[in-house]
Amino acid sequence: METSPDLLPDDVAALRAELIAARAKGAQIEAELAVAKAKASEDLAVIARQKLRIEKLERQLYGPKAERHARLIDHMEFQLAELEMAATRPDQGNDPTMTTIELNEQQAHNGAKLLQAIAHPKRLLLLAVLADRRLSAGRLAAAVGLPSGLVYKHLHTLVESGLLRVSAKSAGMCFSFKLTEIQAVLAAQIPGNVA
C-alpha cells in the first residue's frame, strides 16, 4: 500500500478511518507474530524434552553394558600388561654367566624395586585393606576411594613386584596376600634377615 501524499484522502474522517484500519492491521500482525513465537518456543520445549527422554532411555539401555565393557577393557589391558612384563622380564636366575657380584647387584636392584613398590602411600593403603583377604579391584577402589583405573595401576605394580596374588573369580580378578608371603618376598629379594 502506497502512502504518497497524492493518494491520501483530504477529509479528516477518511484519514481517521484509514489510521484505525492500519492500527488494527498492525495489531493483528503483532498478535499473529506472538502466536507464531509461542508455537516456536513450545516446539523447542517439546524437542528438548524428547532429547532428554532419548538420552535417558539410551543410558538405561546402554549404560550398564557400556560400563561393563569399560571394566572388561581395563581388565584385559591389565592382563596384557602383566603378560608383556612377564615376556620381557629376563630369567636371570638360570644365566650361568652371572657372577656372584652381579647376582648381589641384581638382588640389590630387585630389593630397591620392591621397596619402591611398597613406598607409595596409596599402595600401602591398598595393602592394608587387603590384609589377609581377597578383594576385587572394584571393591578395593570403593574401599579406598580411588578411581578404578588408578587402583589397577597400583595393583599392577604390586603384582609385578610379587607382593600380591591374583586369582580368577567368576566376576573377575581378585587380589590377595598374606603378611608371611610379603616377608618371604622381602627375604628372597633382600639379603639378610627380614622380620
pLDDT digits (tens, 9 = 90+) for 110-133: 777 777 877 788 888 888 888 767
Q: Which of 174, 183, 192, 172 is nearest to 70 (CA)?
A: 172
Instruction: Give residue 30's pLDDT band: very low, low, confident or very high (50, 70, 90).
Output: very high
Least confident of 11-15, 44-48, 138-142, 176-180: 176-180
- 8 A C-beta contact, residue 117 and residue 123: yes
Give dist(CA 24, CA 166) in Å, integer.
84
Residue 110, C-alpha cell as written in the block: 630387585
- 8 A C-beta contact, residue 127 and residue 155: no
Task: Say yes or no: domain 102-195 is CATH 1.10.10.10.
Answer: yes
Give dist(CA 166, CA 168) in Å, integer.
7
Give dist(CA 149, CA 78) in Å, integer.
10
Give dist(CA 158, CA 128) in Å, integer.
13
Question: What pLDDT sits at residue 194?
Answer: 47
CA dist 110 to 34, 43, 53, 63, Å?
79, 68, 57, 43
DSSP H helical ranges for 89-195: 100-119, 121-130, 137-144, 148-160, 179-189
Q: Which of 160, 193, 191, 188 is nearest to 93 (CA)?
A: 188
Q: Is the pLDDT of residue 67 over 80?
A: no
Block residue for cell numbers 587387603: 130
